[in-house]
A and B are shown apart, each in its own frame.
Chain A
Amino acid sequence: MTGAYDVAIIGAGVVGCAIARAFSRYRLKVVVLEADTDIGNGASKGNSAVLSTASDTPSGTLEQQLVKRGHALYRAEAPSLGLPIENLGSLTIAWNETEAETVRAMQLAMIADGFHEAELVGPDAIYRRIPALAPGAVAAVWEAEEAIVDPFSTPLAYALDALANGVDIRCSTPVTGAHFEDRQWHLATPGGEFVASLAINCGGLYGDRVDALGGNHEIKIKPRRGEFIVFDKSARGLLDVILKPVANSLGRGILLTPTVFGNILVGPTAEQVDDPDDWRCTTEGLAALQAAAKRTLPGLLAHEITTTYCGLRPGSDRPEYRIVVRGDKRWITVAGIRSTGLSAALGIAEYIVAQAMDGLVRADQKAEIVSIRVPALWERGPRPARDPTCVGRDARYGEVICHCEQVSHGEIEDALASPLPPRSLKALKRRTRAMFGRCQGFFCGARVTAMLDRSLSPEPRHAAE
Chain B
Amino acid sequence: MPPSDPDCLVIGAGPAGLAAAHALVNTGVGSILVVDRDETPGGLPQYCRHLGFGWGYTHRLETGPAFTRRLLGAIQHPSLRLLARTTATAIRPGPAVDLLGPECGVITLHPRAVIVATGIRERPRAARLVPGSRPERGVMTTGQLQQMVARGVPVPGRRLAVVGTEHVAFSVLLTARHAGQRVVAMVEPDERVASYAALAAIVRHAARIPIHVGTRVVNILGGRQVEGIEIDGPSGPARIPCDSVVFSGDFIPDSVLAQASGIAIDPRTRGPVVDQHGRTDMPGVFAAGNVLRAVESSGFSAIEGARVGTCVAAYLGGSATAWCAASRPVEAAPDFDYVVPQRWTTDDGRLPAIPFSLRVRTTGAPIPIAVKIGDRVVWSDAARRRRPHRRIGIPQGPIARAAGDATCIEVCTTL
Contact = CB atoms under 8 A, between A and B. Distances in A.
B136 A398 contact: no
Interface in B121-157: 121-127, 129, 131-134, 136-137, 140-141, 143-144, 147-148, 150-154
Contacts of A279: 133-134
B259 A400 contact: no
A309 interface: yes
Nearest to B124: A440
Contact of A283 (B37, B103, B127, B131): B131
A308 B128 CA distance: 10
A42 B18 CA distance: 47
B127 A449 contact: no
A441 B141 contact: yes
Contacts of A212: none
Given A281-B134, A304-B252, A440-B126, A398 B140 contact: no
A280 interface: yes
Contact of B100 (A277, A385, A425, A443): A385
Contact of B140 (A234, A305, A441): A441
Interface size class of B (residues with CB under 8 A): 35 or more
Nearest to A389: B106
Contacts of B125: 440
Interface string B72-101: 000000000000010101000000000011
A162 to B, nearest CB: 26
Interface string A422-443: 0011100000000000111111
B218 interface: yes
B105 interface: yes
A305 B129 CA distance: 8
B102 interface: yes
Given A307-B126, A426-B136, A449 B148 contact: yes
Interface in A267-292: 277, 279-283, 285-286, 290
A145 interface: no
Contact of B151 (A310, A387, A450): A450
B223 interface: yes
Nearest to B147: A446
Interface centre among A309, A385, A439, A453 (most CB of B within 10 A): A439
B126 A306 contact: yes
A286 B105 contact: no
| Secondary structure type dominating chain A contacts | mixed
Nearest to A281: B131
Contacts of B129: 286, 290, 305, 308
A117 B371 CA distance: 61
A395 B148 CA distance: 25
A306 B144 contact: no
A30 B141 CA distance: 44
Nearest to B265: A234
B105 A392 contact: yes
Contact of A387 (B104, B106, B219, B252): B106
A29 interface: no
Contacts of A424: 136
A399 interface: yes
B102 A395 contact: yes
Contacts of B267: 302
A304 B136 contact: no
B101 A445 contact: no
A448 to B, nearest CB: 10
A392 B218 CA distance: 49
B405 interface: no
B136 A403 contact: no
B106 A386 contact: yes
Contacts of A447: 39, 147, 151
A353 B256 CA distance: 48
A380 to B, nearest CB: 14
A399 B86 CA distance: 7
B106 A304 contact: no
Interface string A383-409: 001111001100110111001101000
B105 A441 contact: no
Contacts of B124: 307, 438-442
A398 B106 contact: yes
Interface of A: 230, 234, 277, 279-283, 285-286, 290, 302, 304-310, 385-388, 391-392, 395-396, 398-400, 403-404, 406, 424-426, 438-443, 445-447, 449-450, 453
Interface of B: 37-39, 85, 87, 89, 100-106, 121-127, 129, 131-134, 136-137, 140-141, 143-144, 147-148, 150-154, 218-219, 223, 252, 254, 256, 259, 267
* The 4 residue pairs across chains A and B that have the minimum distance between CB atoms: A446-B147, A440-B124, A395-B102, A445-B144
Given A304-B123, A395-B102, A443-B143, 5 more contacts: A277-B223, A280-B219, A403-B87, A406-B89, A445-B148
13 contacts: A279-B133, A280-B219, A283-B131, A306-B126, A306-B127, A392-B106, A425-B137, A440-B127, A443-B121, A445-B141, A445-B148, A446-B148, A450-B153
